[in-house]
Structure 1
Amino acid sequence: MQIDKAQILEFLRSQGDNDKAAQAETQLPDQVDTDQHAGLLSQFGINPADLLGKLPGGLGDKLGGLGL
């Protein structure tokens, strides 16, 4: 799944990880593919499945609306 880098940075900052957010800003591409960049995301302590579940308007909201 493609995620905009800005959403990932916002997620990291919301977790209080400003240092990781600063690193991610320089290392991540503008569009992050959760499969292709899973290793890079893990360097920042991000599990792609967790990230998708926590993004506003993301997969987690859709699944939650389905009662899953």
Structure 2
Amino acid sequence: MNRFIRSAHRWLSIAFTAAVIANFVAMALGEPPAWIVYSPLPPLFLLMFSGLYMFALPYLAGTRKHTAQ
């Protein structure tokens, strides 16, 4: 499960970066459509959740070790 979360987090970061770049290119060409403006938000929210999960993993693993002793 952890390997899948890490891999998904990496791919989501690529999708987020591409969406932000597309957003800047579209803004440089004129008024962009709303779907381009809001396209970075879904990967950003998924990155937030996967990042918080990975951030909490060491703390949760430490809690399990202390309760097992």
Report which of the two has the higher share of strand: 1
- By the TM > 0.5 criterion, same fold? no
Report which of the two has the higher share of helix: 2
Report the TM-score when normalising by structure 1.
Answer: 0.28
Q: Per chain length, whose mean CA-contact separation is higher, i.e. which structure has more relative contact order (CA < 8 Å, sep 6+)?
A: 2
